[in-house]
Structure 1
Amino acid sequence: MNWIISANSKMYDHSSSFEHYGSIDWRQGNAKFEVGDTVYIYCTRPLMMIQYKCTVDRIDLNSDLIRDDKEYWLDEEEYFKSLDGKFMTLRLVEQVSNNQMKLENLKENGLKAAPQGPVKIKDENLLKHIETYFTDNYQTDFFPDTVNEEETEYEGAKRIVIVNKYERSSKARENAVNFHGLNCKVCDLNFKEMYGEIGEDFIHIHHLVPIHEIGKNYKIDYRNDLIPVCPNCHSMLHRKLNGKEPTIEELKKMINK
């Protein structure tokens, strides 16, 4: 069975919890979930889109059989409320952020309304739409950094950038934008304010920790590792002056001069 459930990111930091553990113990409610079911998680306002695909690994768990995830709750009172009832373990399969998963597109393809509780996906067109577009190939315009030149390949005049999972983490980029906003952290440019509708949601994301220094076990902290910058400032952050790339503050000083 395929399901959609809803999540409030202002109440619980789902992204970090999945990033650190790969699963979340979720309250079942009265829905009849079964081990092996596929669950898509719809994030409520301001995102209003499906961003996670999970598999149900365990069901009917008491609170003493689940992981203590208090650190991810943004409201302590809600944390203690959450300990009642039965739980299931949702193992993360994939996470994306693209416009095809937004509420308006889901409604155009069969979803009746924004999910308030668990919803079985019975509409074949809706399931086909979700399964087709649940991929980073349709990610929104929060661009990752490129790797350094030693890891870059060339094919004729076309540059091909080798991309690893850290660069492709559209959810991490989405989190960074939700946390920092869409203004360039160097020059304060906002593309929607400058260009109108065509500039909506457009920004580059800069890794403060260089990608080529990230090991496979590194966990991205979107609050401290990723920041939004415009393409011009992004390019300047990767140019070297006296053999060293400038910091955000150093580039700001250059602009102010």
Structure 2
Amino acid sequence: RNPLADPSLMGVSQGATLTVTVFLLFTVYIFNPGSNTVAELPIAWLPPAGMAGGLAAGGIIYLMAFRLDLSPLRITLCGIAIGAVLHALAIGLIAGWGSARIEIILEWLSGSLYARTWDHAIFLLPFTIAGLIILPLIYRPLVLLQFDSAVARSFGLSYRKQFSLALLVSCALAASAVGAVGPIVFVGLMVPHLARFLAGRHFPLVLPLTVVLGAAIVTLADLIGRLVGHAEEVPIGVVTAIVGVPVLLTLLRKAA
């Protein structure tokens, strides 16, 4: 019921960003004190590190939603505030301890597929498969969650349980992806609305269309970044931000 629900607006991406920033900074100091390259880091831990931070941020949103009985748009505003604090903490850590690794970390923060290999995809595979298996199982609850909580309960839905499960799955998928490639902004904002537009009244098509369109848009943004930047590749996050801001403004206008 929230047209502005997006990992980068709800604070999930920022939670993942903070934990990955801490991981990149301090594991290098502990295990590779003479290294300046991400390649020498144990990259298998990046998705779990990002997931931990994203789920923690999602947990804060969850507690605020139920304890304060917030509306969807107010939850988004709280998410923006929480995300701003988490992002500020990450930037503060980079400024204080980034040293020669600032360039590497800032490249990751901009969201990029640069130097990503099939190893990164393999590390993401368990989280992605688990999420995609669960999605069809919670299809009916997702349909009912579009209604007000009282209406959803009248259809026999265990509202809090299903809301919690949907939030857990979405946070886990988003946060693990951020852990691998960095926070690619606005993809989660644009893709679902485009999928709904293409699906029309056929709601069962929204989820599969979202999966396909998400991959296609990220790949297209990567291609544009490579073509525009030539030798200096423009990060995907920059491309999606340029396209995503007009989409956000349009959604804000409709929400108002």
TM beyond 0.5: no
Give 1 or 2: higher strand fraction: 1
Larger RCO (CA under 8 A, 6+ residues apart): 2
TM-score (norm 2): 0.30
Give 1 or 2: higher helix fraction: 2
TM-score (norm 1): 0.30
